[in-house]
């Protein structure tokens, strides 16, 4: 249960990146946004387990860098560094694969940074739902934008994702997940801070 919806969603996103072996190898530059969050943390740790060694993780809180490095990030970038410049139609080819949990202006700035035949898996909208972009990354660089939907993910394919979570994707560097009783839930919420990144399984 420690994976929850976040882990399941991250795993679907990783399978989309793995569909592009001609573009994405273990040493090509990947990006995971909102990486201290549930989806981002799992995506990072699954990619690290698979042997990708050039993953950049973004966060608004650089004091979390050690946590992200422990999960497998080779580089940590402040999220606002992605959006500080005005969006260009096409920019320097920087990332071959992106797992994006933020959407909005962050995704807008990422699409022009994609490498030829790069892949973006859009999972979330923590930074916004609007997407003002152009067709150029798609028609001039062959970029693929996958939308990830864990809710209506086909039943026949769910088993494969859970199987991957139990085998190839199973992180080696995941922090301890604690299990607490249902009646401890209120205490748990009271003690949580914005910096809390651990996961907890509630035993009911």
Ligand X SMILES: NC(=O)c1ccc[n+]([C@@H]2O[C@H](COP(=O)([O-])OP(=O)(O)OC[C@H]3O[C@@H](n4cnc5c(N)ncnc54)[C@H](OP(=O)(O)O)[C@@H]3O)[C@@H](O)[C@H]2O)c1
Identify any residues that bridge with 181 across adjacent strands, giving them in sequence order.
203
* Interface with ligand X, residue 40, by CB under 6 A: yes
Shortest distance, position 143 Cβ to ligand X, whole Å: 19
Cα dihedral 77→78→82→83 (10° resolution): 180
Shortest distance, position 139 Cβ to ligand X, whole Å: 26
- 5 versus 183: smaller Cβ distance to ligand X: 5
Q: Number of residues interacting with ligand X: please give it, by CB under 6 A.
A: 25
* Interface with ligand X, residue 59, by CB under 6 A: yes
- 179 versus 198: smaller Cβ distance to ligand X: 198
- 28 versus 36: smaller Cβ distance to ligand X: 36
Query: 76-115: which residues touch ligand X (CB under 6 A)?
Result: 79, 101-102
| C-beta of residue 19 within 8 angstroms of C-beta of residue 28 | no
Q: Where are the beta strands (DSSP E) in the chain?
A: 30-32, 55-59, 75-78, 95-100, 114-122, 144-147, 178-181, 200-203
Only segment of 5-13, 113-121, 130-138, 157-165 that touches ligand X (CB under 6 A): 5-13
Give the closest residue to 1 by CA, choosing from 153, 163, 200, 204: 200
- 4 versus 142: smaller Cβ distance to ligand X: 4
Give the closest residue to 161 by CA, choosing from 39, 45, 40, 12: 12
**Whole-Å CA distances, 96 to 21, 23, 46, 163:** 11, 7, 17, 26
* Interface with ligand X, residue 38, by CB under 6 A: yes
Query: 125-184: which residues touch ligand X (CB under 6 A)?
Result: 125-127, 148-151
| Contacts with ligand X, residue ranges (CB under 6 A) | 5-6, 9, 34, 36-40, 59-61, 64, 79, 101-102, 123-127, 148-151
């Amino acid at each position: 249960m420690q994976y929850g919806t976040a882990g399941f969603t991250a795993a679907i996103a990783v399978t989309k990146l793995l569909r592009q072996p001609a573009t994405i190898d273990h040493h090509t530059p990947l990006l995971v946004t909102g990486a201290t969050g549930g989806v981002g943390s799992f995506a990072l740790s699954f990619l690290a387990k698979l042997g990708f060694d050039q993953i950049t993780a973004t966060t608004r809180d650089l004091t979390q860098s050690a946590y992200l490095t422990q999960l497998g990030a080779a580089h940590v970038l402040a999220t606002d560094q992605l959006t500080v410049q005005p969006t260009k139609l096409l920019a320097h080819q920087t990332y071959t694969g992106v797992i994006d949990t933020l959407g909005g202006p962050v995704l807008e700035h990422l699409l022009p940074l994609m490498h030829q035949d790069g892949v973006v898996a859009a999972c979330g909208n923590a930074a916004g739902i609007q997407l003002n972009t152009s067709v150029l990354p798609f028609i001039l660089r062959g970029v693929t934008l996958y939308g990830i939907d864990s809710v209506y993910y086909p039943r026949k394919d769910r088993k494969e994702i859970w199987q991957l979570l139990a085998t190839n994707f199973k992180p080696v560097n995941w922090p301890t997940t604690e299990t607490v009783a249902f009646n401890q839930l209120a205490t748990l919420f009271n003690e949580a801070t914005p910096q809390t990144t651990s996961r907890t399984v509630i035993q009911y």
